[in-house]
Amino acid sequence: MNSAMNRQARIFVAGHRGMVGSALVRRLAAEGYPNVVTRTHAELDLTDQAAVNRFFESERIDVVLLAAARVGGIFANASRPAEFIYENLAIETNVIHAAYRAKVERLVFFGSSCIYPKQCPQPIREEYLLTSELEPTNDAYAIAKIAGLKLCEAYNREYGTQYVSLMPTNLYGPNDNYDLNSSHVLPALLRKAHEARRDGAATLTVWGSGTPRREFLHVDDLAAATLFVLEHGVTEGLFNVGVGEDLSIRELAECICKVAGFEGELVFDASKPDGTPRKLLDVSRLAQMGWRATIGLEEGIAATYQDFVASHSGSAAPALHA
C-alpha cells in the first residue's frame, strides 16, 4: 500500500470510447479529476509501437487506465482468435512498456474472468490462475490477458512500478456492443427482446442450452472499483471484480424479457456453443478491503435497456443476424 491518488494527476484512459473506458471517464469527472487525457483510435493507434512511444514521451502521464482492448462475445472470440491475441498483446506490450519508459508510476490493467481455467472450483479465487486448461472458445483472448497481468507483475518486480490488474466478470452497461455477431450475451438478449416485442414475434432465440451460469457486473461498478483501488493506494496484485452471485443464461433471458416487456417463448439453439459451464468470481479480496458492487442486476438491466432504447431508437439498429 502507498499514497492515494493526487487529484491533479494526468490520467490517460486508453480506450475511452469503449464501455469500460467511457465509464471510467464518467466516474473520473464525477469524482473531480480534471486532468483526464484521451485519444481516439484515429489519433493514436495503440498497436503502433512508435506512435505509442511518441505519445508517452510528450504527454507527461502520471496514471494509465488500460481499458483499450479487442473484445467480443463467444462467437467473435471463437471465430477470430488471431485478431484477439495479436491486437491485445500489441496494445499491452506497447502501452505498458512505453508507460514504464516514461516513468508512469501507476497503471491499472483490465483483464477478464476468462483468464481462469475452464474447470475451476467456484467461486473462482485469484490463486486459481494457471492451475489447469483454459476454455477453448476464448483461449487466444485469455492468453493475451494473462500476458498483460504478467507484464504488470514483471515490471513491478524488476522496475518497482505500481501496476495493478483488475479482472472483471461479464460486464454490461452504456456503450456496449449490440451487434449480434460480436456481442456478449446480455446486450444480445436485450436487443433480441426489444426487437421481438417491437415486431410482435412469438419466440426469442437463446444460444446454447441456457444452463451455463454467468455473473454480471454493471460497468459503473467496475469504474467505482477502479477509483477505489487507486484511492486506497493499492500498488500491485490481481483483483477479481464482480458481484459474488451468478445466474443461468435461461434466468438471465427471463429477467431481460421482463424488463423489455417481451412475453413470448424462449427457444434454445443447441447448435451454438455453451462455452465454459460456470464463471463465478470470488470477490472477497476486494471486499476485505471495503469495496462491494452496489448496482443490482434487474436495476442495472433496466437502466441499460433505457440507454439502449435511447441510443438505438427508430430503425437505426441493423437487422437481426441470429
By the rule CB under 6 A, 108 interacts with ligand GDP: no
Asked if residues 88 and 69 have their Cβ atoms less than 8 Å apart, the reply is yes
- Please, what is the minimum distance in Å from the beta carbon of residue 194 to ligand GDP? 13
191-209 CB burial, b ≥16 within 10 A, e <16: bbbbbbbeeebeebbbbbb
| Residues in Cβ contact with 189 at an 8 Å cutoff, skipping those fewer than 6 apart | 204, 206, 252, 253, 256
Cα-Cα end-to-end distance for the chain: 48
Enzyme catalytic residues: 141
By the rule CB under 6 A, 206 interacts with ligand GDP: yes
Query: Phi/psi at 234 (nearest 5 deg)?
Result: -70, 130
- Please, what is the minimum distance in Å from the beta carbon of residue 150 to ligand GDP? 21
By the rule CB under 6 A, 275 interacts with ligand GDP: yes
By the rule CB under 6 A, 185 interacts with ligand GDP: yes
Q: How far apart are CA 285 and CA 229, in angstroms?
A: 12
Tell me which residues in 47-86 interact with ligand GDP (CB under 6 A).
73-75
Please tell me whether 41 is known to bind a ligand: no
* SS3 call for 141: helix
Q: Which of 16, 106, 145, 184 binds ligand GDP (CB under 6 A)?
A: 184
By the rule CB under 6 A, 161 interacts with ligand GDP: no
Please tell me whether 134 is known to bind a ligand: no
Please tell me whether 17 is known to bind a ligand: yes
Please tell me whether 171 is known to bind a ligand: yes
By the rule CB under 6 A, 304 interacts with ligand GDP: no
Q: Which of 26, 80, 250, 272 binds ligand GDP (CB under 6 A)?
A: 272
* SS3 call for 82: helix
* Residue 300 cell numbers, joined: 442495472
Q: Quick one: which of 243, 237, 241 has its CA closest to 226?
A: 241
Residues 42, 89, 218, 36, CA torsion sign: negative
Name which of 86 and 268 has its Cβ closer to ligand GDP: 268
Name which of 149 and 249 has its Cβ closer to ligand GDP: 249
By the rule CB under 6 A, 218 interacts with ligand GDP: no
The residue assigned the cell 490481481 is: 238
By the rule CB under 6 A, 240 interacts with ligand GDP: no
By the rule CB under 6 A, 188 interacts with ligand GDP: yes
Please tell me whether 184 is known to bind a ligand: yes
